[in-house]
Amino acid sequence: MRILVIGAGALGGYFGGRLLQAGRDVTFLVRPRRAAQLQASGLVIRSPAGDFTLPHPPTVQSHELVAPYDLILLGCKAYDLEAAIESFAPAVTDRTAILPLLNGMRHLDVLERRFGTAAVLGGQCVISATLNAAGDILHLNDLHTLTFGELRSARSERAAAIDAELAHASFQTRLSDAIVLEMWEKWTLIAALAGVSCLMRAMVGDVIAAGGTDLPATLYEECAQIAADNGFPPRQPLRERSVAALTQPGSALAASMLRDIENHGATEVEHLLGDLSRRRRAAPSSRSLLDLAYIHVKAYEVRRLRERSAQG
């Protein structure tokens, strides 16, 4: 199976690198700067699950793509989705499966409009990873799980073949019979975490210590109600674990969106908070925490872009 991994950053580089380590046919679609860095220093993974270095990993640039690829692994930032689609589109045929690992649901709508419903799988991952200044991939915890499945059926021969291809790499993989529900469950949790982290500019433990225990729980319930309105109510055990995680005293849990703001970078506010609010079936209450969090981060984005424009 020919696999094209979009980008070789923390996410694509980790999962693609582990697949290469397992002997799979993987190529990274990268920009010229990252291609030069990989050729000079190799693909380097530092991980509690074992380090791995591959000199001269296979890379390609968009104008060099030769179809077909059987599987496209897409793990870009949501605000880079349209550009990523244009870059890998030449690799897609009617036999190509596209497996996105973005959070939320909007990207599925975008991908299905461009490539058709049959081409797109549902997927998500749980991992904490980043790139250091040298371009090495740093895996920061013990979690490295990739879950995927068909969007409109429980199982298929295609999904089974992909599951076999992803198996036996140095990460955990699971073929799900309910991937859309699982994606909604994750979305409700990370939207609540992003909302409260960014509104309070603090970790969960700091919010709780300041007397704000009700805020993350209330925001989670608002997000979960939107999921339920769309036909995917989070399952009760997951709801209980989510609320417990969001209200844990002393917790260092914080959303990556908060780190993006603190680093003066772009955020996925539209994909994670804005799109969730727009999928609300009932009119929002006058005290919608989700809408307040969305406007808060959106105002940051407006200011960031205005200041960048002023700087030329």
Written as six digits, the tokens of 135 are 């371009």
CA distances from 123 to 20, 162, 175, 177, 209 (A): 20, 12, 9, 11, 35
Q: How far apart are CA 151 and CA 247, in angstroms?
A: 32
In the residue annotation, 298 being an active-site residue is answered as no
Out of 34, 144, 186, 271, pick the active-site residue: 186
| Degrees to nearest 5, angle at CA 139 with 137 and 142 | 165
DSSP lists the bridge partners of residue 74 as: 6, 100
Q: How far apart are CA 143 and CA 245, in angstroms?
A: 16
Neighbours of 222 (CB within 10 A): 24
* Catalytic positions, written as ranges: 186
